[in-house]
Structure 1
């Protein structure tokens, strides 16, 4: 059995990356040998990462009571890491918002991007990835065209996720599906989205050959 964690990072019901998530979930249900769960970063209501977490670490070591904000930060870290720990494959379904990822997804990354957890430093000071046994898939939607040489440097969602999940965490990428240009080219929007959703189905089917 392969444990698949789908990190849903769009709370807009009509969002294209929401459609990608729904399509992936429906197709994954047809693939044998998968245990698929969803971690909706909006519904989980993760606390923003900050000093509260570090304050909590110190207080817990000293047996002191935590404030509500400190406890919320600890809870956010624990549930984010527990979801990631249980996964063999992690699927991220997310949009490009304002050139980057949604803040709720950033919170999930902040709570799992940690020395000693997702990476470490060796004696030479070099970064060593600690999640090389896991794999990942990216499902991303963006209304404009960002794959052109002129626009690619401005795209900081897919590039960022690949740098973190593939680069720092060391997970192996199984597939990347991007739907783009549907807002910039409304005349072709229906075809762009339909083609992209077929690619999402194909990505889900690839999990049939992924072994935990």
Structure 2
């Protein structure tokens, strides 16, 4: 089994719960081929017109600029990592109601017609990654699981809508640690309980290959 872990927080685990979730998952994972794609360590220029310019220059044979070359290389590396994976683990925080911009860039690189989805003859989207599975490891300091706050949560929901809804991957596990900032007197217990769930997810994935 090839496991791709998309790490999307560059804050230390002593300060960031989603970083600690990543570390806990990795420490308890055995018997699989695991690769970390750290969106903060990779060279990932933001998606924009430069990428479309690069596509055009590939077709025409024109010489590309440095940023255009970097974009094509970065996009291909992200796609290659996703292609090779049987299971994709997203470890990320909720920042300002959504995902970190670097994680958004990974999605932008891989959200491509003909690769992760396609359109059929009637114009309907068809999922192209139904052979893959994914896991969500998400941390958010506030409480967003209530009916009132749930519509505002655009990090875990977004990743599930993209990886599951558009790409067609099967969600096999989800661990969300929330409320540790809102209830600091309970933070230690909240985080500890969540990390035990992360351990169980990692061990469960390891057991599949045993």
Match of 1:27 in 2: 28
Q: Which aligned segments of 4 or more residues in structure 1 are displaced greater than 2 angstroms? A: 208-211
Match of 2:187 in 1: 189
Distance 1:195 1:178 in 2: 10
Distance 2:197 2:207 in 1: 16
Query: In the TM superposition, what is the alpha-carbon distance from 1:116 to its structure 2 partner?
Result: 0.4
The number of equivalent residue pairs is 207
Match of 2:55 in 1: 57
Match of 2:123 in 1: 125
- Give 3-state SS (helix, strand or coil) of 2:27's partner: helix
Match of 2:199 in 1: 201
Deviation per CA, 1:84-132: give whole Å up to 9, x if none: 1110000000000000000000000000001000000111111100000
Distance 2:205 2:158 in 1: 23
Match of 1:155 in 2: 153
Query: In the TM superposition, what is the alpha-carbon distance from 1:45 to its structure 2 partner?
Result: 2.8
Deviation per CA, 1:139-191: give whole Å up to 9, x if none: 00000000000100000000100000000000001100000000000010000
Match of 1:174 in 2: 172
Query: In the TM superposition, what is the alpha-carbon distance from 1:206 to its structure 2 partner?
Result: 2.0
TM-score w.r.t. length of structure 1: 0.96
TM-score w.r.t. length of structure 2: 0.96
Match of 1:15 in 2: 16
Distance 2:204 2:117 in 1: 27
Match of 2:163 in 1: 165
Structure 2, unaligned stretches of length 5 or more? Answer: none
Deviation per CA, 1:17-71: give whole Å up to 9, x if none: 000000000000xx32x00110000000311001111111110111111011111
Match of 1:69 in 2: 67
Match of 1:103 in 2: 101
Distance 1:209 1:196 in 2: 20
Root mean square deviation of aligned Cα: 0.9
Match of 1:78 in 2: 76
Distance 2:85 2:103 in 1: 17
Distance 1:133 1:174 in 2: 12
Match of 2:90 in 1: 92
Query: In the TM superposition, what is the alpha-carbon distance from 1:209 to its structure 2 partner?
Result: 4.9
